[in-house]
Structure 1
Amino acid sequence: MHFWDQHKTITRYYEILMSSVCEKYQLKHLEYDILMFLHNNPQYRTAADIVRVRKSTKSHVSTSLKTLEDRGFIAKKTDPVNKKHIELDLLEPANEIVRDGLLAQRQFTEQMLRGLTPEDIAVCKRVFQQVCSNAEACIKQKG
């Protein structure tokens, strides 16, 4: 089981890199994560998407979105037909944060994959996806 504990080392290093961006812009980690999620995943545009895909709690996402909206980083756009459907748009003031976040993410990826061949990376992705799929199936079975 040592393997399963080692993922915490990778996660911790990612958090260290992202902390510098959060400190620079006075963001909480979830606020930063939401901005990067919206940028990196334009197909997901609602709070429900963030909760579902990122496995975040609804209340934490809601609080973070309110803060991001108040600071002018995102705008909420209500669907005129379905008032319950609210899409999230990144605003221009978020661009600098996203740029710095992308640099940190690129640094993280390059450092974590250093020494791996493209074939190694493909195998890692395939195996990790299968492990995640198995976990999702187990969660659905128990839920």
Structure 2
Amino acid sequence: MHFWDQHKNITLYYEALTKSICDKYDLKQLEYDILMFLHFYPQFNTAADIVKVRKSTKSHVSTSLKVLEQKGLIEKKQNAKDKKCIEIYLLKKSDEIIEDGIDIQKKFMWDLFQGISEDEMKIFKDVFDQICKNADNFLKESDNEKNV
């Protein structure tokens, strides 16, 4: 179970790197994470998408979106076809944060994968993808058993 103890170091390092951005722009970690998520995955632009894909809680996402909207970093728009669907869009004011975030993410990836060859990286990606698929499948099975 060594992996389960050590994987937290990856998250802690990422949060340590992004702290400078959060401090600079007076953001909480989840607010920053949501901005970056919306930048990289614009197709997942509803609160429900953010909750589902990022595995976040509804209340935390809702609170963070409210703050981001108040700061003028995002805007919410009603979907023209589905009036119940509220879509979230990044505003120009978020551009500088996103640029800083991309720079930090590049540094993060560079630092983490030092000394790893392209072949090793491909193997790592394949193994990690399989582990994630396995976890998703077991979670779905668990949810199905609860609903029966």
TM-score over 0.5 for the pair? yes
What letter matches 2:79 in structure 1?
D
Determine the C-alpha separation between the residues in 1 that align with 2:126 and 2:9: 21
CA RMSD of aligned residues (A): 0.9
Aligned residue in 2 for 1:40? 40
Residues 1-143 of structure 1 mapped to structure 2, 5 A cutoff: 1-143=1-143
1:117 to partner: Cα distance:
1.2
Determine the C-alpha separation between the residues in 2 that align with 1:88 and 1:118: 37
Aligned-residue identity in percent: 55
* Contiguous gaps of at least 5 residues in structure 1: none
Determine the C-alpha separation between the residues in 2 that align with 1:81 and 1:50: 20
What letter matches 1:97 in structure 2?
I
Q: Give the 3-state SS of the residue equivalent to 1:75 in structure 2.
A: strand
Q: Give the 3-state SS of the residue equivalent to 1:82 in structure 2.
A: coil
Determine the C-alpha separation between the residues in 2 that align with 1:55 and 1:25: 24
TM-score by length of 2: 0.93
Q: Give the 3-state SS of the residue equivalent to 1:88 in structure 2.
A: strand
Determine the C-alpha separation between the residues in 2 that align with 1:80 and 1:98: 27
Q: Give the 3-state SS of the residue equivalent to 2:77 in structure 1.
A: strand
* Contiguous gaps of at least 5 residues in structure 2: 144-148
TM-score by length of 1: 0.96
The total of aligned residue pairs comes to: 143
Structure 1 residue runs of 4 or more that deviate by more than 2 Å after TM superposition: none
